[in-house]
Amino acid sequence: MQTTYHWLAGFAQSVGLLYFVAVFLGVCVYAFWPKNRARFEQAALNPLRED
């Protein structure tokens, strides 16, 4: 029983690490994609508008 638990815990940690690395890289690609530049510049200026 101990061996199964340790194997499963190690597998979950490895898969979790890979998942979070993939999510981080996906967010970075989305944030630095050239097509999104205008959207982010407009969002950055929203607090300064006096509408």
Q: Over 80: is that where the pLDDT of 47 sits?
A: yes
Task: For 10-34, write each residue's pLDDT tens digit.
Answer: 999 999 999 999 999 999 999 999 9
Contact between 51 and 45 (Cβ < 8 Å)? no
Res 2: pLDDT: 67
Phi then psi for residue 25, to 5 deg, are -65, -35
Is the dihedral angle over the CA atoms 22, 28, 29, 30 positive or is it negative?
A: positive
Rounded Cα distance between 51 and 47, Å, is 10
pTM of this prediction?
A: 0.69
